[in-house]
Amino acid sequence: MKSLQIPDIRTVANYQPAEASIIYDRHGRVIERVFAENRTVVELEAMHELLPDAFVAAEDGRFYEHKGLDFISVMRALVVNLKSGRKSQGGSTITQQVARGLLLSPEKTYIRKFKEAILAWRIDTLLTKKEILYIYLNQIYLGEGAFGVEAASQVYFGKSASQLTLGEVALLAGLPQAPTRYSPLKHLDRARARQRYVLNRMADDGYITPDKARVAYISKLNLRAGKRGFDPVNGYYLDVVKKQATEILGRPLQEAGARIYTHLDPKLQKSATQAVVSGLRSAGVRQALRDVNSRRIPQGALVCIERSNGRVRALVGGADYFASPFNRAVQAKRPAGSIFKPFVFAAALQDGWKPLSIISDAPLSISGGKHGVWQPKNYSGTYHGDTTLKNALANSYNVAAVRLMQNVGVKRVHAMADASGITAKMPPDLSLALGTVDVSLLEITAAYGPFVNSGIYTEPSFIRRIVVEDKELWRESPMRVQAMTPRTALNMEAMLEEVVTNGTGKRAGGLPGATGGKTGTTDKNRDAWFVGFNGNYISGVWVGHDLNQTLGDKENGGRTAVPIWRDFMAEARGGSAR
């Protein structure tokens, strides 16, 4: 026996195959499976009660009687082989298929068949029939990349093996003999003929009545044809989830067999994608009208976070995931521009200033530094004299913001931004008042959370929990920080509403309920930003070119980013936190 190199069957008894990791949306629906082999191991009790019987009837009618080998079937197959003059694979029992699938190569030789027979007998001696069926039904390849009945149920019917109808059970049971030839997605007529054979075998063996077989055969099959595969709409969000889950698990998702429950809202994600694509197309058209030689469509990103708990409900990192999977919502770090100003104003309020306190928006010269004299200017090129903090923020006066930071102090502004979740290294000078710090859209959107959540910053969260082998391995516990006092937050919320009511964010108006936010435009109109709130959500939008070209004259936060934000929030409005 040693010369035959018979494998050790103890690996069969300790059956632990690589399983797919499954990612779910906020409603518990599967949005992706990550795998080397698409397999989800389930107990027999978690399958349709007739599913094991169907496979036994179709593949090995005497399964419960023989000891791993069915000599009648073997002799029948041998006669067929001799008559045809070639080797075939007929006569294999379910136990032999388990031995072949787990322990042997797929080559068709008499030596391999001999090894297979010995191993099948040993397996039958070592394991119960129930244990052999459990392995077989989780291991068998059933076409379309699906291994095992649970994965096949999802691939072909979009539901669990426990939810199958009798007709669907029989269809799956007909696949092992030739999964490609009998694929219902490609050869439905052949699959139906094989289904009829299985139902007849089940009736002959007494598992079902002939009447049930007939009803099952004429029942409609709801196949998933045309609904399979990766959905690029979710691509950017899922990339973040996969990266975080891999770090939590400490091993590749392809072999982890994890259930990953996310906060993704498919409706909001679809609306976010549509709003970004439509808005970028409009910006590209405007740029082409100004410059007939321009064919550049800008890129963009959108993030939607639930304001009370930091749960990320939608994230779009670009116009087309397949064309460019670079995630501009998370990976891109761009100058913040005026969307940083609220942290300057919040630091001032925290230091005792009031929304109606007066600040000067007159010309300003600051000496020192590597550039000599610095003279900050307003976007419009005009100045407005003495004005209130509320008015200065609403209209995004640059000089007033610099003067305010000069009064409050750079360190206090740093501390406010740090507490609000800004992790980027900030310059130690007054230029920070104009947003000379590179941030990601996700980071800056989450940092607006304290303004509308009683001053509390909550770390953005994508994953609710992760389950492995029916045990909860990890559950979210996002960091929460009191970034500012509730009074400061309340005043900032009102001031940000003024931005939309009477300031640079007017295009965001018109939605039911209170709406507030802040626009931002960087040097030479290279970046257009808007971060705002309405209803249950805070959402942020960025528009720009990857190579940092200008978006064009008159393209700014209010004109370019706000319409995308408003289109999306009009769809998101009315969603409830759960």
- Contact between 41 and 137 under an 8 Å Cβ cutoff? The reply is no
Q: What are phi and psi of 42, to 5 degrees?
A: -135, 150
With respect to residue 433, please indicate whether it lies within any of the assigned structural domains: no
In whole angstroms, what is the distance from residue 135 CA to residue 61 CA? 18
Q: If you search the block for the tokens 């963009």, which residue do you land on? A: 300
Catalytic residues: 59, 338
With respect to residue 206, please indicate whether it lies within any of the assigned structural domains: yes
What is the token pair recorded at 361? 């928006």
With respect to residue 292, please indicate whether it lies within any of the assigned structural domains: no
With respect to residue 142, please indicate whether it lies within any of the assigned structural domains: yes
**DSSP designation for 375:** -
Task: Give the strands of the sheet with 21-24, arranged side by side.
Answer: 30-34, 21-24, 258-262, 463-468, 471-475
With respect to residue 98, please indicate whether it lies within any of the assigned structural domains: yes
What pTM does this model have?
A: 0.85
**DSSP designation for 470:** T
* Cβ-based neighbours of 256, under 8 Å, separated by 6 or more: 19, 21, 249, 468
Q: What are phi and psi of 561, to 5 degrees?
A: -90, -40
Task: Taking each helix axis as running N to C, give the angle between helix 188-204 and helix 166-173, from 0 to 180 degrees, rounded to the nearest 10.
Answer: 100
In whole angstroms, what is the distance from residue 34 CA to residue 157 CA? 18
438 SS3 class: strand
Beta strand pairing status for 480-482 and 38-39? unpaired
* Cβ-based neighbours of 65, under 8 Å, separated by 6 or more: none
What is the token pair recorded at 190? 């052949």
With respect to residue 197, please indicate whether it lies within any of the assigned structural domains: yes
What is the token pair recorded at 194? 């094989």
Residue 385 CB neighbour total at 10 angstroms: 9
With respect to residue 380, please indicate whether it lies within any of the assigned structural domains: no
With respect to residue 429, please indicate whether it lies within any of the assigned structural domains: no
Q: What are phi and psi of 549, to 5 degrees?
A: -75, 165
**Closest to 342 measured CA to CA, from 542, 505, 560:** 505
Q: What angle do CA 7, 10, 12 make, to 5 degrees?
A: 90
H helices, E strands: number in the chain:
19, 18
What is the token pair recorded at 534? 């309405």
The pLDDT value given to residue 197: 97
* Cβ-based neighbours of 79, under 8 Å, separated by 6 or more: none
In whole angstroms, what is the distance from residue 210 CA to residue 218 CA? 13
The pLDDT value given to residue 243: 97
Reported as type and span, the H/E element at residue 314 is: strand 312-316
- Contact between 87 and 81 under an 8 Å Cβ cutoff? The reply is yes
The pLDDT value given to residue 251: 92
- Contact between 351 and 382 under an 8 Å Cβ cutoff? The reply is no
**Closest to 518 measured CA to CA, from 474, 452, 459, 454:** 452
42 SS3 class: coil
* Cβ-based neighbours of 9, under 8 Å, separated by 6 or more: 99, 103, 119, 122, 123, 126
Query: Would you write out the chain's pLDDT as a tens digit for each of its 578 residues?
Result: 444 454 455 656 678 888 899 999 999 999 999 998 899 999 999 999 999 999 999 999 889 988 877 766 656 655 655 665 554 445 689 888 887 777 655 555 555 566 777 787 888 888 899 999 999 999 999 999 999 999 999 999 999 999 999 999 999 999 999 999 999 999 999 999 999 999 999 999 999 999 999 999 999 999 986 545 578 999 999 999 999 999 999 999 998 999 999 999 999 999 999 999 999 999 988 887 777 566 678 999 999 999 999 999 999 999 999 999 999 999 999 999 999 999 999 999 999 999 999 999 999 999 876 667 999 999 889 999 999 999 999 999 999 999 999 999 999 999 999 999 999 999 999 999 999 999 999 999 999 999 999 999 999 999 999 999 889 999 999 999 999 999 999 999 999 999 999 999 999 999 999 999 999 999 999 999 999 999 999 999 999 999 999 998 889 999 999 999 999 999 997 544 34
Task: Taking each helix axis as running N to C, give the angle between helix 149-157 and helix 166-173, from 0 to 180 degrees, rounded to the nearest 10.
Answer: 120
Q: In which domain, by residue range, is 75 found?
A: 47-218
CATH number at residue 201: 1.10.3810.10
Q: How many domains in the chain?
A: 1
- Contact between 258 and 248 under an 8 Å Cβ cutoff? The reply is no
**Closest to 420 measured CA to CA, from 452, 458, 377:** 458
Q: If you search the block for the tokens 């998933």, which residue do you land on? A: 224
- Contact between 286 and 563 under an 8 Å Cβ cutoff? The reply is no
